[in-house]
Structure 1
Amino acid sequence: MTSLPWIRATVRTAVVSRVHGGDLHLERYSGPPGDPGLMGADGVVWRVHGHPAAMLTGGFAALMLQSLHPLAMAAVDDHSDFRTDPLGRLHRTVGFVTATTFGSTAAAREAIAAVRRVHTRVTGTAPGGRPYHARDPHLLTWVHVAEVACFLAGYQRYAAAPLTAAERDDYYARVAVTAEELGARDVPRSAREVARYLNRVRPELAATPAALEALRFLRSFGRDRAERAAVTVLMNGAIALLPDWARDSLGIHRPRAVRAGWDAPVTRALGGLLVWACRPSEIVTTARLRVAAAPSA
């Protein structure tokens, strides 16, 4: 039993280092007093985005699903440094999600403004000749829906207490705010609207060579044995979150029996370890103290 604190500290340090880059930037979450932030305090978005296993599996699933839009994937392929600096890309993405979820209103809007500035430079032509621009509202809506649908799917599968139908709709309605401030339009605000949106956009989707290369990169990532093992577990858990048609498009042939009988329990075990080691979260604790504090006169 005396080794448990050491195990917990080791896992926690590894997560903070690999996922957050070692610096939690707690100043984003500490003030001003009484500020609930963009997502509202301690609601469904905090529950979903504060669950380590849901966000890691959901994040991997989102990357796979997002890659199926040829224009979105072309933008990533041409402008992202995910091949040369994958952890840097992860740190920036995690920083954006945590700032817009748990940060003060000012910190959230600062993160959104920073992404909007980057998007002005992300423009080009996809293979086949179609132009793309990261400020395109249609692409912004796709990236947002693919991301939050996968985050929620990860929470529903790997959290101890999944959201109710009403809570799922509340989640989609609240996270739509961030997408709209980034420039997305006609953002789905309920589970039914998300399902309809995905059916509507499917004819636009295809697994391009760049998407398949990105999938191979994700599935083989890891700088050491422990990291590769963790990524393998999380990727297999993420694959289970994808719709059947998305797995088919990406050429992922992992039998249902393997996903249910091996991937799910192993991912839940790793997820349980992450939850045990990472809670209470310093970010969430700092945000709660900010929200609970009396507003300044």
Structure 2
Amino acid sequence: MADPLSRAAARLLTPDGGPAIDFSAPPGAPALIGPDSVSWRVFKNPVSLFVGGITAVILELAEPRVRSGVWDHSSFKAQPLKRLKRTGLAAMVTVYGPRETAEKMIAGVVRMHGHVTGETPAGVAYQANDPALLDWVQATASFGFIEAYHAYACTLSQVERDAAFAEAAPGARLYGATGAPTSEGAWKRQLALMLPNLEPSEIVFEFLDIMTRTPLLPGPLRLIQKPLVRAAVDIVPVEVRARLGLGEAWSLNGLERRLVRMAGSSADRVPIKGAPAVEATRRMGLPENYLYRRRAAL
């Protein structure tokens, strides 16, 4: 099941009718971070990316200004799969795309966010390009992807987790998140500072319902979709889960945990032909299995 699941999850990175990004060209063009980075290993895994992306959105939706900006100004409610694909592609371009391509894409996102303004239901004004909100969004993304990979694909050392946070800095700065955490310790400090601002919302549960019932994976593979969503909730920091009311009903049972780990671990061993990670390693003149072979050597 794990290999078909990996291919199905990888299809989430191909937006319908969206821009075609050639990660294999031009030859030798560097990305914002290099192929020897922890991030190149982490972002190659479509299973942990799917899980970590959901974790990140849960944390984003816990902040009322970010929640209003996301829920009121995006297509998530009406077209969740399309939105997921666009977000996944943006992450791939930021990590694996040629630097020039990544810079151009991010500049476009920043311009678009410049038009996203409004007020929360409580009357608090927000602006999507507010550096404090950008720092939170960047922090939650880094945490979600790193923690999901660590929990369900391949154990990362403390040094590796700190490195992965630090490697996100070049992309974060381009987005305007100049205060995003550059280590796990910095993430924990930011979380502690942000915690009083986080609040429960029915929108969190609406989001989780959408992620559970929308047919994101094909055919029999939908059987694992609900455990993947639970896996995402399971790694949300306990203090945030308590604040949001995400109780034990959202936790993985033993069988589900083994199933998710099997899928994540298998996806970490098998290169997916045409995937951004594989194409990017080819662009850099490296073997297609470079990131997978490198994993075994660490």
Q: TM-score range by the shorter chain?
A: 0.7 to 0.9
- Against the structure 1 CA distance between its residues 22 and 285, is the aligned structure 2 distance closer, same or farther, given a 3 Å change threshold? farther
Structure 2 alignment gaps of length 5 or more: 287-298
> Which of 120, 145, 148 is the matching residue for 1:151?
145
Match of 1:48 in 2: 42
Match of 1:237 in 2: 231
Q: CA deviation at 1:214?
A: 2.3
For 1:152 and 1:277, locate their aligned partners in 2 and report how far apart those are by CA, in whole Å.
19
Q: CA deviation at 1:25?
A: 6.6
| Larger deviation, residues 183-192 vs 126-135 | 183-192
CA shift digits 1:142-166 (9 cap, x unpaired)? 0110111011000111123x22211
Q: CA deviation at 1:289?
A: 2.0
| 1:141 lines up with 2:135 in the alignment | yes
Within 5 Å, give how 1:38-117 maps onto structure 2: 38-117=32-111
Task: Provide the secondary structure at the position in 1 that maps to 2:126.
Answer: strand
For 1:132 and 1:253, locate their aligned partners in 2 and report how far apart those are by CA, in whole Å.
30
- Against the structure 1 CA distance between its residues 280 and 42, is the aligned structure 2 distance closer, same or farther, given a 3 Å change threshold? farther
| 1:125 lines up with 2:119 in the alignment | yes
Bigger Cα Rg: 1
Task: Provide the secondary structure at the position in 2 that maps to 1:28.
Answer: coil
| Larger deviation, residues 220-229 vs 42-51 | 220-229
Contact between 1:112 and 1:181, CA under 8 Å: does it hold in 2? yes
Contact between 1:58 and 1:150, CA under 8 Å: does it hold in 2? yes
With normalisation by structure 1, the TM-score equals 0.86
| 1:167 lines up with 2:160 in the alignment | yes
| 1:187 lines up with 2:180 in the alignment | yes
CA shift digits 1:4-37 (9 cap, x unpaired)? 9xx95x5565334344247897743122332221
Task: Provide the secondary structure at the position in 2 that maps to 1:124.
Answer: strand
Q: CA deviation at 1:46?
A: 0.4
For 2:127 and 2:193, locate their aligned partners in 1 and report how far apart those are by CA, in whole Å.
21
For 1:29 and 1:38, locate their aligned partners in 2 and report how far apart those are by CA, in whole Å.
13
| Larger deviation, residues 19-28 vs 127-136 | 19-28
Match of 2:282 in 1: 289
- Against the structure 1 CA distance between its residues 251 and 122, is the aligned structure 2 distance closer, same or farther, given a 3 Å change threshold? same
Within 5 Å, give how 1:211-250 maps onto structure 2: 211-222=204-215, 226=220, 228-250=222-244
Contact between 1:28 and 1:104, CA under 8 Å: does it hold in 2? no
Matched letter for residue 71 of structure 1: R
Q: CA deviation at 1:226?
A: 3.7
Q: CA deviation at 1:266?
A: 1.8
Contact between 1:28 and 1:107, CA under 8 Å: does it hold in 2? no
CA shift digits 1:259-279 (9 cap, x unpaired)? 362332121133345446653
**What is the number of equivalent residue pairs in this alignment?**
285
For 2:48 and 2:10, locate their aligned partners in 1 and report how far apart those are by CA, in whole Å.
16
Q: CA deviation at 1:213?
A: 2.6
Match of 2:295 in 1: none
| Larger deviation, residues 278-287 vs 147-156 | 278-287
> Which of 259, 269, 281 is the matching residue for 1:266?
259
For 1:213 and 1:121, locate their aligned partners in 2 and report how far apart those are by CA, in whole Å.
25
Structure 1 alignment gaps of length 5 or more: none
Task: Provide the secondary structure at the position in 1 that maps to 2:252.
Answer: helix
Contact between 1:16 and 1:23, CA under 8 Å: does it hold in 2? no
Contact between 1:11 and 1:277, CA under 8 Å: does it hold in 2? no
| Larger deviation, residues 150-159 vs 273-282 | 273-282
For 1:18 and 1:221, locate their aligned partners in 2 and report how far apart those are by CA, in whole Å.
13
For 2:71 and 2:17, locate their aligned partners in 1 and report how far apart those are by CA, in whole Å.
28
Match of 1:15 in 2: 9
CA shift digits 1:115-145 (9 cap, x unpaired)? 1121011111111111111010000000110
Task: Provide the secondary structure at the position in 2 that maps to 1:132.
Answer: strand
Q: CA deviation at 1:253?
A: 1.6
Contact between 1:173 and 1:189, CA under 8 Å: does it hold in 2? yes
For 2:28 and 2:14, locate their aligned partners in 1 and report how far apart those are by CA, in whole Å.
25
Contact between 1:28 and 1:99, CA under 8 Å: does it hold in 2? no
